[in-house]
Structure 1
Amino acid sequence: MVEEIRRRLSEALLPVELEIFDEGHKHAGHANAGKGHYHVRIVSAAFAGQLPIERHRMVYVALDGLMDNGIHALSIDAIQDK
């Protein structure tokens, strides 16, 4: 799943930095524990002029279909490239 997330975000947003962390281990004992919990840190010029909520929407659009099929939870740090 990490590689699919990386591929989609790289193609859609051309990041200068991209880190993806599988955080499923942090959710032991919770519903859906160990399944599809990820953190993304992405830096891209595509975020220029966008409010944080719009940056997150751009990430979700790039990951269309995965949010219902493989990703249970996603936290995002979307940063505008300087």
Structure 2
Amino acid sequence: MIQEVIETKLHNAFQPEYLKVINESYMHNVAPGSESHFKVIVVSDSFAGQRLLARHRQVNQALMEELSNHIHALAIHTYTPQEWNEKENSAPDSPMCVGGGH
């Protein structure tokens, strides 16, 4: 399963305090059971002092193989533990797909 690969790679890359990988493919116009659209929430001390773009680049780098071959869309939410606490341990919901064949 792609979801398990994503979880393993992000865990190994960031040793997160909190990690959640959500398959959001059901929200899009894809076949049932697809693994093509994901949302990841990564809470790690390794993001301290980094801007959002640098954090997202690190996640993209860790998942380069999956992004090249399996994942169509990836929503990335990265936080330090302090930021996560300030957000009351929640990330924004993803919008439903508005159409298209992806």
| Superposition TM-score, scaled by structure 1 size | 0.89
Which shifted more, 34-43 or 54-63?
A: 34-43
1:11 corresponds to 2:12 = yes
Cα deviation code 1:23-68 (max 9, x no counterpart): 001012xxxx245100001100110100011110110111121101
Q: Partners of 1:24 and 1:52 in 2: how far apart?
A: 24
**Would you identify which runs of 4 or more consecutive aligned residues in structure 1 move more than 6 Å?**
none
RMSD over aligned Cα, in angstroms?
1.0
Aligned 1:3-82 pairs, distance under 5 A: 3-28=4-29, 33=30, 34-82=34-82
Describe the SS at the equivalent of 1:40: strand
Higher Cα radius of gyration: 2
Choose between structure 1 and 2: higher strand proportion. Answer: 1
> Once the 2 structures are TM-superposed, how far is the Cα of residue 81 of structure 1 from its aligned partner?
2.1
Unaligned runs of 5+ in 1: none
Aligned residue pair count: 78
Q: Contact 1:15–1:43 at 8 Å: present in 2 too? A: yes
Unaligned runs of 5+ in 2: 83-102
| Superposition TM-score, scaled by structure 2 size | 0.72
Identity, % of aligned positions: 36
